[in-house]
Structure 1
Amino acid sequence: MRSIPFTVAAAVGALLLLSACSDSGGGGTSSSSSSSSGGSSSGDDAGKDSAAKESPLHAYMKSIQYDGGDSAKNHKEVENIIASCMKEAGFEYTPKDLPSQPASLDDWEEMDPVERAEKYGYGWAGSPESEIDPEEFVSPDADYLAAMSDSEAAAYSVALFGDQQDVDTSELDWTKGGCYAKANHEVHSNRNAAYEDPAYEDLQEEIRRMFEKVPDDPRLAEINAEWSACMNEGGFDFARVNEAYESIAEGYATLPETADETAWADLRDKEVATAIADAKCQEKVGYPEKLQEVQFALEQEFIDTHKAELDAWIEQYATDEAAK
């Protein structure tokens, strides 16, 4: 089974952080933010205006929303803490610069949906992450590490990353994760506190379930039918928007890793073709705008129903930094 595609990973992150325009549709072209942000149709300006609107839940909870802050500053803080920690452990560690990213990684959400589908499919066939060449990076400590004996290298690795190889990932303990985990905890823990508080786990689960309900909302039935008719014209047989993405996800989930390259190539070709048709039909029928309309309505209903719980969460964790 292949790893989760960039589109889904990004969507999950957006959902957990209560992003303004969550990916409620599951696939990259189903996002109310990304799908309505490009194209050359006559409704393009309207789509951009729609995507620019702040969602009710995002607006309501922005005071406890953490978007990662200044990534360069955070990275530098982490690296300096690692260096100090490793020095205490008796090792050298040179703080590393933040790796450069391809422009497309930052522009993912801003790309025209059809262009994105043509280039990446749904995210398995390709992704901005795949454009990062790991061989371009050379550790400033390469010579220092190469001169180590096997036992010294093992001790260095334990100091840096800890020794939890045999522990289930759900049971990882940052205090046993070496200097790397220590540094990341110091830099990021306070910013994530609101989302790690067990008192609000049930509320966050309710939020997740609310977003999951968006694509199945009865108010999308008519536009799903219009999208389905459009897809049928291109030779695809799907009743609902999510089915296009899910069919490809199922393909990757069931294709053995041992399958030959021809099988993988055929599936990637199928992914790209499906994603392109999906993006074009969503744009044609105005699905992103309708999806956003329904999502915003459900968010407001959620706020009205859970106002007391949300207010308690906000009161406990609101910060001026997060509200900016």
Structure 2
Amino acid sequence: MRSVPFTVAAAVGALLLLSACSGSDSGGDGDGRGSGGSSSGSDAGRDSAARESPLHAYTKSIPSDNADDSAKRHKKAQNIIASCMQEAGFEYTPQDLPSQPASLDDAEAMGPVEWAEKHGYGWSASPESEIGEEELVNPDADYLAAMSESESAAYSLALFGEQQDVDAESGWDWTKGGCYAKANHEVYSNLNAAYEDPAFEDLHEEQRRMFEKVPDDPRLAAVNAEWSACMSEAGFDFARVSEALDSIAEAYAALPETTDETTSADLTKKEMATAIADAKCQEEVGYPEKAQEVQFALEQEFIDTHKAELDAWIEQYATDK
């Protein structure tokens, strides 16, 4: 069986499912998305998408993996490395964060309908396929090339540390990992700890389940029925919004590792047609906006129910205390 590529297809599919909820992400567990389209309703959708979700507003002091925070952390880590290497007697030029391939940012800018017309759900027409591999240039290449073999070895030891025999008992010792490990520990340890702390494992699991409830919430029954009727007119038989993406995901998962071009082309055609109809019907019936209302309501219920745990989590890991 062929595994389904999650990073683009599932993410873009989720964008179409909840495309008005962009403010909801809280450390990667939310299903917040952007809204758009070509009609006048798309402007209203984007205005709606700009609203900050209750959960994000409540927990935004916790470090997260959004693009802005990632760029800031990368810059801070690179500066720590440069300072550390200077103390060790070497030069090191902080490196820029490599540019990222097209992603959900493009989907938000284009709107779900335009995105679907170009990429479908993202399997057959992945945005990554349009971008060639970026040539990475080390700004210290000339400096490194002029080093002797012993100097190069000393530089590498200072930057990456010594080799370690890692086992289950001792683990990896970051203090022996050179300037890179020092920077990663100082910049990323709190981020990782916030989401890996066993004390809050149940809280994160409950949060994940809360977001999973959104598509099945009874308050979306009416708009799902409207969407289903719209899809029926386009030649598709689905009862709920989530079924459209699921049908394509299952079809790709069922493909054998090696398949003929005709079968692959047929599935590509089916994916594109389904994704385009899905996006248009969601926009027509106002599904993104209604889904956002439900999601925000569930988030507030989650906050009210788990306030003590959330407050303890924020107290321990907030970066702006």
TM range (shorter): 0.7 to 0.9
Which whole-Å CA distance do the structure 1 matches of 2:262 and 2:107 have between them? 28
Matched, 1:21 2:24: yes
* Structure 2 partner of 1:107: 106
Distance 1:261 1:167, change over 3 A: farther
Which whole-Å CA distance do the structure 2 matches of 1:184 and 1:261 have between them? 45
Matched, 1:60 2:58: yes
5+ residue gaps, structure 2, are 16-20
* Structure 2 partner of 1:15: none
Matching residue's letter, 1:257: E
5+ residue gaps, structure 1, are 13-17, 24-30
Distance 1:182 1:38, change over 3 A: farther
Q: How far is 1:304 from its partner?
A: 1.5
* Structure 2 partner of 1:6: 8
Which whole-Å CA distance do the structure 2 matches of 1:278 and 1:290 have between them? 16
Q: 1:46-195 alignment to 2 at 5 Å?
A: 46-66=44-64, 67=66, 69-79=68-78, 96-101=95-100, 106-134=105-133, 136-138=135-137, 175=174, 183-195=183-195
Q: 2:22 touches 2:49 (CA, 8 Å); kept in 1?
A: no
Q: How far is 1:313 from its partner?
A: 1.8
Which whole-Å CA distance do the structure 2 matches of 1:197 and 1:19 have between them? 26
Q: 1:184-263 alignment to 2 at 5 Å?
A: 184-263=184-263
Which whole-Å CA distance do the structure 2 matches of 1:109 and 1:163 have between them? 44
The CA deviation string for residues 241-260 of structure 1, in whole angstroms up to 9 with x for no partner, is 00100111112212122223
The CA deviation string for residues 109-159 of structure 1, in whole angstroms up to 9 with x for no partner, is 2321101111111122234433331154355688979xxx9xx99xx8xx9
Distance 1:195 1:251, change over 3 A: same
Q: How far is 1:240 from its partner?
A: 0.6
* Structure 1 partner of 2:279: 279
Distance 1:71 1:315, change over 3 A: closer
* Structure 1 partner of 2:267: 267
The CA deviation string for residues 61-97 of structure 1, in whole angstroms up to 9 with x for no partner, is 22224345454443344446667889999x9987543
Matching residue's letter, 1:56: P
Q: Secondary structure at the match of 1:134?
A: coil
Distance 1:76 1:294, change over 3 A: closer
* Structure 2 partner of 1:301: 301
Q: Which moved more, 1:220-229 or 1:126-135?
A: 126-135
Q: Secondary structure at the match of 1:242?
A: helix
Which whole-Å CA distance do the structure 1 matches of 2:167 and 2:9 have between them? 29
Q: 2:37 touches 2:283 (CA, 8 Å); kept in 1?
A: no
Distance 1:173 1:116, change over 3 A: farther
Q: Normalising by structure 2, report the TM-score.
A: 0.74
Distance 1:278 1:173, change over 3 A: farther
Matching residue's letter, 2:99: S
Q: 1:121 touches 1:272 (CA, 8 Å); kept in 2?
A: yes
Which whole-Å CA distance do the structure 1 matches of 2:162 and 2:38 have between them? 48
Which whole-Å CA distance do the structure 2 matches of 1:7 and 1:182 have between them? 36
| Matched residues, number | 303
Q: Secondary structure at the match of 1:320?
A: coil
Q: 2:24 touches 2:53 (CA, 8 Å); kept in 1?
A: yes
Distance 1:128 1:187, change over 3 A: farther
Q: 1:105 touches 1:129 (CA, 8 Å); kept in 2?
A: no
Distance 1:300 1:135, change over 3 A: closer
Q: Normalising by structure 1, report the TM-score.
A: 0.74
Which whole-Å CA distance do the structure 1 matches of 2:104 and 2:32 have between them? 19
Q: 1:32-43 alignment to 2 at 5 Å?
A: 33-34=33-34, 36-41=35-40, 43=41
Distance 1:122 1:261, change over 3 A: same
Q: How far is 1:262 from its partner?
A: 3.6
Which whole-Å CA distance do the structure 2 matches of 1:94 and 1:240 have between them? 53
Q: Which moved more, 1:55-64 or 1:77-86?
A: 77-86
Q: 2:24 touches 2:55 (CA, 8 Å); kept in 1?
A: no
Which whole-Å CA distance do the structure 2 matches of 1:93 and 1:252 have between them? 46
RMSD over aligned Cα atoms: 4.3
